[in-house]
Amino acid sequence: MAMVKEMTERSFSVRSWDATSTMSCCEWVGITCDDSFPARVVSLSLHIAGSLPQALANISSLQILDLSYNGLSGHIPNELTSLSRLQQLDLSNNHLSEILSQGRAIGNLVNLQRLMLGSNSFMGPLPANLSACAKLKVFSTYNNSFQGSLDLIQFNKLPLLEILDLSSNFFHGSIPLSLAECAALQGLNMARNNLIGAVPIELSSLKNLSALSISSNNLNGGMRSLFGSKQLVSIILSKNNFDETLPESVEGQGLSNLQVLALGLLRLRGPIPEWLKNCTRLQVLDLSWNHLEGPIPIWLGLLPHLFSLDLSSNSFSGYVPVELFGLPTLMHGDKNLTGLQVVNNLAIKHKEISPVLQYTQVSAFPPTIYLSHNQLQGPIPSQVGALAVLFNMDLSFNNFSGSIPETMAS
């Protein structure tokens, strides 16, 4: 009764709760019960402000607690870690600032499968005994102020982990080798941190990994080890210090399922490798802000699903192949998209002074061709007018000659 009183005073969802009513609490807004007799509360989804109420710890049967998108502040009370049956805890998009006053207690949640802490104000290191949550499948801490070394977490003790999103924090040190033992891992996002060193070659053993984002760090090697995976659908490595050439070849059917490849601002050298023409499912290709050179390959215009191409700010030379303006997805709009979910967000920044654009799905990308700031020459092909669904095109700062095609007016 005390819990009901506290909650009704503070929660928008539960002001209709009435402890004096003959109506079962299982019929109250935000509450779900199981089929047992008497029925037990197994799920709470509430809109509540202030601090997290300790009284929630009294609902020992609770399996799902969703308090996302609220005005919660303060810390996660230790009492909540007594909820041994809890499987899903979503505290994302609040103003919480401390994960636990005694971080070691989070390991008590031994049945936890989903822990969502994104978009809060958490600081300090992750609780070291997070690895005691051996059933954890999804762990998300994006957009916080966590810091410290990730080597403190024994990821090898999380064998069921499928999604790990640590993006937009202040983690430092190297990418933990223990991640290579998370055999079930499908999505890994460590973008926008302060990670250093090389990408561990051991990550190539993650056969289920389909989406990888480690952009905006200070990583400086090991990129080639990522290009042998058949399962990878999205690779986002932009804004690091790899300073190497793209591999001339990939093994077997490596990257045959690739849809997104973002390698902007990596100080890459050399030509565009020919193996990319085998990535026939490729939809988004970003090689901007590098030192790539040579001609633009004709086969780029033959990739059947490519609709977003950024080759700007390189040293490409020669004529623009006519085939580039015959991309079917830019002529007819038949993208044939699979609805690929990019792990958290893919940041695209076309120019140094432009705002960062965030996309969470490939289908949200605008149809574009960016070829600016290169050494391209010759006339602009008249076929450019056939790109009926093109949203953005930038050909500036090149050595083009002749007149602007009249077809561009269409």
The 10s digit of each residue's pLDDT in 191-204 is 999 999 999 999 98
Q: Which CATH architecture has domain 1-181?
A: Alpha-Beta Horseshoe (3.80)
Q: How many CA within 13 A on the CB side of residue 47?
A: 6
- Let me know: does 282 contact 304? Beta carbons within 8 Å: no
Strands (E), 198-294: 211-213, 218-219, 234-236, 260-262, 269-270, 284-286, 291-294
Does the 210-410 domain belong in CATH 3.40.630.30?
no
Select, from the ranges 24-28, 31-35, 39-43, the one with the highest average predicted confidence (pLDDT): 39-43
Name which of 58, 107, 104, 47 is nearest 83 in CA terms.
58
Which residues 6+ apart lie within 8 Å of 353 measured at CB? Answer: none
Residue 168: the pLDDT is 96
- CATH 3.80.10.10 maps onto the chain at 1-181, 210-410
Residue 7: the pLDDT is 56
pLDDT, one tens digit per residue, over 225-270 is 788 778 899 999 999 999 999 888 887 667 889 999 999 999 999 9
pLDDT at residue 298 greater than cutoff 60? yes
- Let me know: does 309 contact 287? Beta carbons within 8 Å: no
User: CA-to-CA distance for 376 and 380, rounded, in angstroms?
Assistant: 10
pLDDT at residue 68 greater than cutoff 90? yes
Higher per-residue pLDDT: 28 or 96: 96
Name which of 213, 246, 206, 249 is nearest 229 in CA terms.
206
pLDDT at residue 10 greater than cutoff 70? no
User: CA-to-CA distance for 26 and 368, rounded, in angstroms?
Assistant: 51
301 pLDDT tier (thresholds 50, 70, 90): very high
Residue 19, CA distances (Å) to 4, 16, 61 in order: 7, 10, 19
User: CA-to-CA distance for 250 and 253, rounded, in angstroms?
Assistant: 8
Residue 341: the pLDDT is 46
Residue 75: the pLDDT is 87
Which residues 6+ apart lie within 8 Å of 117 measured at CB? Answer: 91, 92, 96, 99, 140, 141, 144
User: CA-to-CA distance for 236 and 359, rounded, in angstroms?
Assistant: 12
Name which of 204, 248, 249 is nearest 222 in CA terms.
204
Least confident of 60-69, 307-316, 360-369: 360-369
What is the value of pTM for the model shown? 0.90
pLDDT at residue 386 greater than cutoff 70? yes
Could you tell me how many residues make up the chain? 410
20 pLDDT tier (thresholds 50, 70, 90): low
Least confident of 6-10, 176-180, 293-297: 6-10
pLDDT at residue 170 greater than cutoff 50? yes
